[in-house]
Amino acid sequence: MQNSVTDIVDETYDANISFGEQVKVAVAEMVTTIEGMAARVATSRSAFTERGLPHVAYCNGAQKRQGEMALPWPVTPPYTIANQVAAMRECVRATMVVIVAEKPDGADLLVWREEPWVTRLLRPDGLHVRAYTRLAWDCVGGAA
């Protein structure tokens, strides 16, 4: 029997490494790259840094403003592990590129509000992945 256009076939049996492990590797690479740009790294649970700078949300290769819907990042069928991981890696890479480009000159303190994570979501229009993080750049000396 042939699948119709609306059938979702998740052929996740083709991976040598578990799906979760592959996704963890992609996220870890993002964390390592971003933290490598900072002299110091901190975490925060409030909406702002100690100096009152807001944490910025990044999602799917763009800065996500409060109340905005994230841009969809579709996975190309068939929905194999390889295709899903490739889409997640590309989504993480695009998000990381934006973060690197928007880092202010002289900022040497990275403040994570929410460390990066990646998810997948099956929607009526197909399978989408989402890479999300929230952070702020500051200066240790307070001059940025």
In a domain, 2, yes or no: no
In a domain, 130, yes or no: yes
In a domain, 1, yes or no: no
Residue bearing tokens 């590129």: 97
Contact predicate 57/134, CB 8 Å: yes
| CATH number for the domain harbouring residue 117 | 3.30.2400
Mean pLDDT rounded to a whole number for the chain: 84
In a domain, 123, yes or no: yes
Q: What is the distance between the alpha carbons of residues 57 and 127, in angstroms, rounded to a whole number?
A: 22
In a domain, 131, yes or no: yes
pTM of the model: 0.80
In a domain, 51, yes or no: yes
First to last CA, the chain: 62
Q: How confident is the model at residue 15 (pLDDT cuts 50, 70, 90)?
A: very low
Q: How many domains does the chain have?
A: 1
Length of the chain: 144
In a domain, 3, yes or no: no
Q: What is the distance between the alpha carbons of residues 107 and 99, in angstroms, rounded to a whole number?
A: 13
In a domain, 7, yes or no: no
Find the helix packing angle between 81-101 and 19-35, rounded to 10°.
Answer: 10
pLDDT at 13 over 60: no
Q: Domain residues for 96?
A: 12-138
Q: How confident is the model at residue 14 (pLDDT cuts 50, 70, 90)?
A: very low
Which range among 6-10, 72-76, 117-121, 132-136 shows the weakest confidence by mean pLDDT? 6-10
